Amino acid sequence: MPRGMVLLCLVLIITGVLPTCAPTPKHVSEPASSSTPTPAWELPAPQLTRVEGFGDHLELTWRTFRGDRDVIGGYNVYVSTSSGLSSLPDGDPELKDFLYGGSAYPGDTDGIIDSESINITPVVIGIRHFVHVRTVFPDGHQSPPSAERDVIARPRGSLTLHPRFSSGNDGFSFASDRNVPSMSDSNDVYLFAGKDGPYLASPSRLNPLLRGTRFASLGPSVSIEDYPACPEPSSLSDKVAVQPGHSVVVLMMDGRMAKMRPRELAGGHDPLSMVFDYVYQPVFGEARF
């Protein structure tokens, strides 16, 4: 190549008119977001998915919205008999007075990190409690609060009813949580054999001076933990057929409610004796279970 042409090429390269022979850098992809921890301040508030009252304890379950690489210090679970704690800001000294266990809950041991659960005990039966959860980060600050939920701890368990006029337990008092004679003035329910099967019935059918209990079927349910809407009082009757897999609402004379669901035959010599799961709502006028 003539010397003049070489000089011209050098000038063009220096001024940027001609490209150089330097290799083009390869594109480096950004790491996948799922492989890096979420900044603590971006983690959303926990979401309570289940809040139940069982006897003298509460059971809570919540979604955590965290990944495998997200580092946290646990969860603060707040329990109060007054509402409004969830509106208090992180660091408010009043929150410390209602922190369950006095420190952050590390989480359950089932190995599932996107859901956590806790058993809160003891609590006062028949008292409404307000609960919410906040994620705690390693530096001590907390996430926004979950929505506040209210719950009442209620007596529950199983009871056995023998048919009327039998020698066994033929009545049950929900208020005292024990079997009583069907003719007792504290009895709420008894069992009798109808032409088309067993019935739960009001003691007032035996004697007008006894308690007047009302019943209605809630329809089929997987368990007594199902929460169908309770029917209007006008649709209740002084007896209801016992059907396998069907829950029954019970309205006591004092306005309190219970729910019963047949579990099995009790066995023995009397084929009508039956075992029921039950939940008693001790708060007057409260129809939630």
Q: Residue 59's domain is classified under what CATH number?
A: 2.60.40.10
Q: Over 80: is that where the pLDDT of 1 sits?
A: no
Listed in sequence order, the residues at least 6 apart from 147 whose beta carbon sits closer than 8 Å to its beta carbon are: 47, 48, 86, 132
Note whether residue 174 is domain-resident.
yes
Note whether residue 273 is domain-resident.
yes
User: 125 and 164: one domain?
Assistant: no
User: 173 and 138: one domain?
Assistant: no
User: 146 and 161: one domain?
Assistant: no
Domain ends where: 152, 167, 194? 152
User: For 26-80, how does the pLDDT look when each residue is reduced to its tens digit (9 = 90+)?
Assistant: 444 444 444 466 555 568 999 999 998 888 899 999 999 998 888 999 999 999 9
Share the mean pLDDT of the chain: 84
Domain ends where: 99, 119, 152? 152
The verdict on pTM exceeding 0.85 is: no
User: For 245-269, how does the pLDDT look when each residue is reduced to its tens digit (9 = 90+)?
Assistant: 999 999 999 999 999 999 866 555 5
Domain region containing 128: 40-152
The strand pair at 239-241 and 156-161 is best described as unpaired
**What residues are paired with 74 via a beta bridge?**
136
Domain count, the chain: 2
Q: Tell me, what amino acid is at 52?
A: E
| Alpha-carbon span 199 to 196, nearest angstrom | 9
User: 53 and 94: one domain?
Assistant: yes
User: 148 and 165: one domain?
Assistant: no
pLDDT of residue 120: 97
* Structure-block tokens of residue 153: 């701890």
**What residues are paired with 200 via a beta bridge?**
191, 240
